[in-house]
Amino acid sequence: MHEIYELPSFQLDGGAVLDPAKLAYRTYGELNAARTNAVLFPTWFAGDHTSNEWLIGPGKALDPREHFVIVPNLFGNGLSSSPSNTPPPHDAADFPAITIRDNVRAQHRLVTEHFGIDRLALVLGCSMGALQTYQWAVSHPDMVERALPYCGSPRTSPHNAVFIESLRAALTLDSAFDGGRYRTPPLAGLRAFARVYAGWGFSQAFYWEEEYRRLGFASREECVTGFWEANFIGQDANNLLAMLRTRQDADVSATPGHDGDVEAALGSIKAKLIALPAEKDLYFPPEDEVRAARHIPHGEVRVIPGIWGHMTGSGANPADAAFIDTAVRDLLAAPSPLAVRAAGEPARS
């Protein structure tokens, strides 16, 4: 179950207006009286709020008995405003481009206007959720106390953008796609899309070591069909393309005031930030995060060891899940630089 927060006449970075934009979300736990226990946990590509639930629960770092966890769904994922659920003139292939900043701006209104929260104890997210985490920390540096992007980065790299182009081609070259005006799902394109993803989501070592057997698959082909095709075959093609476009254009340096300077954008982050790249992630390699963290005043990098590649962030491998949970726990226990700064300020008359 989820709820919908409507944003009337919501203007996007590209100039289009969704009236209304619909932001789907779910919450876990209760907001305390002081409104100081809020955690924001945006979703990743083709996932929804249920994709994040493995990290939320009693005894876990995101224990709903202690924290109020808000999970907003990415625009384009089929629950929030998407090509599949938006009426004309912005339906299907006419759905406008949406940026990571658009997502964060909508989430900011949910957090501040709907819940009355002016400080977030933590923002975290995986992959596209990590892109949103970085954008939150840059767009709202005085609001984000701690940030934990995992299996992600502050901007989409050129190499990642090339991968995205291969996905787009696999999907749109299916004749059934019909320029996004398909009457029935372009199944051949969706299967091709899934098979391209299969070569990137897990690492080379994952397949060498036949790690897919731990997921219940007897062969590589069973993994491709039973894991990857099963994940994408029920997705709406235009939704996938909308999210790809959001991902491809992600870049914190495009935030107003930073003029394309990624180092300046990262330097503006005031949160205590722990980045968790996966050791063998083909999309977001650890060296990218190490490079980025040098410019974040309170930045730290912890590499998640192992061979699950980008899917390290999915929670499917217990060792990876435990590593991420420990980092979240450590970060929540660490002093917030914002709180330390506020405590050191002289009293105002």
Residues that are catalytic: 127, 281, 310
CB 184 within 8 A of CB 175: no
Both tokens of residue 149?
Answer: 């992007």
Task: Give the three-class secondary structure for 180.
Answer: helix
User: Residue 299 has what DSSP assignment?
Assistant: E
Burial of 106 (0-12, 13-18, 19+ CB in 10 A): buried
DSSP bridge pairs for 278: 304
Task: Give the three-class secondary structure for 343.
Answer: helix
Contacts of 179 (CB under 8 A, 6+ apart): 93
CB 300 within 8 A of CB 293: yes
- The closest alpha carbon to 24, from 62, 52, 59, belongs to 52
Q: Supply φ then ψ for residue 228, to 5 degrees.
A: -75, -50
**Measured distance CA(286)–CA(298) in Å, rounded:** 18
Whether the link from the prior residue into 89 is cis, omega within 30° of 0, is yes
Strand boundaries in 37-110, DSSP class E: 38-40, 68-72
